Amino acid sequence: MEFDLAGYAQGRFADAKALADATAKKLGSSGDQTPYVYEGRHAILAELGFSLDGSRQKGYAVFIEGRKAGTGAECSYALLAYAPEAEFEAYADFILSCLDAFSVDRAAMRSPGPISQFSLEWPPSRGAVKTVALPGGGKAELPWSDEEAAEEAATCLREYKVEACYADEPELALDAWARFYRMAYRESAARLDLLALEASRSLAGSADDPTETARKVLAWVQGFAYVRDEEGSDFVPPLASAYGASGDCDSRAVVAAVLLERLGIDSILMVSRDYSHAMLGVDVEGGGQRFAFNGKRYLVGETTAHVGIGMIAQDMADWTKWMGIDLGN
């Protein structure tokens, strides 16, 4: 499979369609083109079908229109992902994953990717309401969309399939595992913004005490029902986990990290294959066990057992068996 990324100075092409047409002509590619909006920019999702060195190629491309001068990044982008036509089905998840991993700027790193925003408009229409328990106590009625939850689940399942392909590759397995969680974060972080806003209100009493805020968020996820998606990705996606108050250790840790990030508290995900477990790491003051990562020492947070922040079971305290993941980077 090949993934190509090209950036063009603003003004090189009149719009996303002009870029798509020029690229298709250059490649001799045939296939439908569908316009949509990605991060407020006009974009095109195009089918690719062309010959390369005598071999027929098949895939998808995303073309993103640049902004006018003075409004932010000015480049327009062409993203192409393809494989030999005979092997397209085997590479389909990789192709979509590569395209969906692109971010037009840093802010877009916490919004659904180009493929997700094609599949379901962003921000989505939320016609239903869910009652959600809040960290710090209380409940809130928040807008809800079954379609949005389904899109989140589909992305997580696709990324699980990609990650699983590296399970028997020792040099790549851990990187692939970390990438799965970053893609899950990227798909869901902005979807949790309304919950984070309500959480900031429910936690107003501890706003000046980051350690107490982290303690309350940790206690909140510790109270979730223990649920695993063993038929799919073995991971309850963050939106479904937070709104349904359910999930396994890694789902809870990702949810807590997303909310704490929006509250201005640096947090990481900690995972261990040896212990088959995940925890939260928080850069706050306080006593307890700490995990060294990226030049900081994060206070650990157990997400499934009802224990205080900084506490970890003695039989899981070998830090060489843990990996830290900075979800937003």
Position 20 scores a pLDDT of 98
Strands 128-133 and 41-52: unpaired
DSSP, collapsed to helix, strand or coil, labels residue 156 as: helix
Q: Given the structure tokens 């395209």, which residue do they identify?
A: 99
Specify the pLDDT at position 71: 54
Please report, for residues 219, 268, 296, the alpha-carbon distance to residue 223 in angstroms, rounded to integers and kept in the order given.
6, 20, 28
Mean pLDDT on 266-278 = 97
- Give every CB contact of residue 2 below 8 A, 6+ residues apart in sequence: 80, 81, 82, 83
Question: Is residue 301 over pLDDT 80?
Answer: yes
Model confidence, pTM: 0.95
**Given this model, what pLDDT does residue 69 score?**
52
Span 2-119 CATH architecture: 3-Layer(aba) Sandwich (3.40)
Which residue ranges make up each domain of the chain? 2-119, 128-325
Answer for the pair 49, 105: CB distance below 8 angstroms, yes or no.
no
251/244 Cα distance (integer angstroms): 12
Q: What is the CATH number of domain 128-325?
A: 3.10.620
Q: What is the pLDDT of residues 307-328, one digit of tens each?
A: 999 999 999 999 999 999 999 8
What residues contact residue 80 under an 8 Å CB cut-off, 6+ apart?
A: 2, 3, 4, 5, 6, 23, 48, 59, 60, 61
Q: Find the mean pLDDT for residues 190-208.
A: 95
- What whole-number distance in Å separates Cα of residue 210 and Cα of residue 266? 10
pLDDT of residue 329: 78
128-325 and 2-119 share a CATH fold:
no
From 195, 207, 249, 203, select the one nearest 226 (Cα to Cα): 249
Is residue 70 over pLDDT 80?
A: no
Q: Does 210 have pLDDT greater than 60?
A: yes
Average pLDDT, the chain: 95
Residue 68 has pLDDT above 80, yes or no: no
What pLDDT does 73 receive?
A: 55
pLDDT (tens digit, 9 = 90+) per residue, 5-43? 999 998 899 999 999 999 999 999 989 999 999 999 999
